[in-house]
Structure 1
Amino acid sequence: MNGPLVEAGSAPAWLRPLIEISGELDSDTFTRFAPPEDQFTRSAAVLILFGEGARGPDVLLLRRAETLGSHAGQVAFPGGSVDEDDGGVIETALREAEEETGVDPSGVRPVAVLPELFVPVSRFAVTPVLAHWQTPSPVRAVDPAETATVARVAIGDLADPGNRFQVRRPGTGYLGPAFAVDGLFVWGFTAGVLSVLLSLGGWERDWDRGDVRDLDAALHEHGWERR
């Protein structure tokens, strides 16, 4: 079940709205895709880690290595498949974040669990875990074969209207939000979740939803191709 893991009042004021509303959300808040009942899906978890740096609240993102077989080069939250030895999605999210970015889990406080979200392209049922980075630790691309870049991206930069637009994949019906910030091009599942969280957290600013760009052209402009 999704919902708060802590009292909202024990978290920073800027994070409280997300904690408070987390129990009221369902998957339809984030995606129109539902897991097919007659086909196999794999369980996964991602860590949406909010910290506070010199430029205000930020979120930890990574860019996957170009050599990976799936989602190569895409910007994502730290995360991965649930292992049999994991004690649940929270443990999965923390373990994967440590393995991919080197973040010290002892400084991370999980604060809420969001609804499980289905990602059709990879057939994963992904549970996002919201967390507060109480004691930030150094982060890096632990294994360059898996992770190309790790970055703390300011919420204010994500909310900046100049960094937001939509992308369309002709012939597929796909239309979704995207961000170009700090040298990262964010689209797909990650951009969709971030877009909703900006709204729910009260950070969203008016932006031009009529700015719709061709996905492949946008990928090429930002230095990589869709795989």
Structure 2
Amino acid sequence: MGRPIDLDGICAALAATPPRPSSDYDLNPDIVLPEGRVLKPAAVLIGVQAGRVILTKRASHLAHHPGQIAFPGGKVDATDADPVAAALREAQEEIGLDPGAVEVVATMPAHETVTGYMVNPVIARISEDFRPTPEPGEVAEVFRVPLPLLMDPAAYRVEHRRWRGVWRRYYVVPYGPYYIWGATARMLRTLADRVAP
């Protein structure tokens, strides 16, 4: 019998299984990464509200990742005490999430992206009365995806496309009209693999 697919079950799974670092290169073992590369620290909030994960659709006019699905988050600033503080600050800026409505319950190993970031995922319980206010300069839409779907490894598929002249494979987890892929899907799949029995 598997663990319950709720936040408490996820926390139990994280405590019981060894950490598994992930990266955008997991499905592309033929890519050779340069030694001594410098990665920029970042953090994202995997916020769970009433059994659903909060995600954003980035504004279409942004220079980086326009229109893509992402967690609230961004670069760790010099004024941030740690990645958790950065994730909470970014969530407040992007979707109006008051840190007082957040209970941080776990963190995951950092995830390396093809764009040169080392992203720290922060898992949190969000108050049920929170109503998001998207920051129009960054966020086109805020939506929620059922946690059981995202915690089911069978919901994910692998697709590929050319990137910087080479074919690159990546995870996708479709949900209605939303195409969740790349680093966001990879971090969720890493979590799903740890929760799965």
Q: Greater relative contact order: 1 or 2 (C-alpha under 8 angstroms, separation 6 or more)?
A: 2
| Residue of structure 2 equivalent to 1:138 | 131
| Residue of structure 2 equivalent to 1:51 | 49
Bigger shift: residues 43-52 or 89-98: 43-52
Structure 1: gaps spanning 5 or more residues: 1-10, 204-227
TM-score by length of 1: 0.71
Q: What code does the residue aligned with 2:148 have?
A: G
| Residue of structure 2 equivalent to 1:225 | none
Match of 2:11 among 4, 13, 16: 16
Structure 2: gaps spanning 5 or more residues: 1-5
Q: CA deviation at 1:34?
A: 9.4
| Residue of structure 2 equivalent to 1:186 | 180
Q: Provide closer, same or farther for how the CA distance between residues 27 and 186 of structure 1 changes in structure 2, counting only shifts above 3 A.
A: same
TM-score by length of 2: 0.81
Quote the Cα distance in structure 1 between the aligned partners of 2:69 and 2:7: 26
**Alpha carbons 1:140, 1:149 under 8 Å: kept:** no
Quote the Cα distance in structure 2 between the aligned partners of 1:162 and 1:86: 37
Root-mean-square deviation (CA, aligned residues, Å) is 2.8
Quote the Cα distance in structure 1 between the aligned partners of 2:58 and 2:11: 30
Q: Percent identity?
A: 31
Q: Provide closer, same or farther for how the CA distance between residues 13 and 111 of structure 1 changes in structure 2, counting only shifts above 3 A.
A: closer
Quote the Cα distance in structure 1 between the aligned partners of 2:12 and 2:33: 28
| Residue of structure 2 equivalent to 1:39 | 37
| Residue of structure 2 equivalent to 1:105 | 99
Q: CA deviation at 1:155?
A: 1.9
Q: CA deviation at 1:59?
A: 0.7
Q: The residue matched to 1:90 in structure 2 has which SS?
A: helix
| Residue of structure 2 equivalent to 1:85 | 79
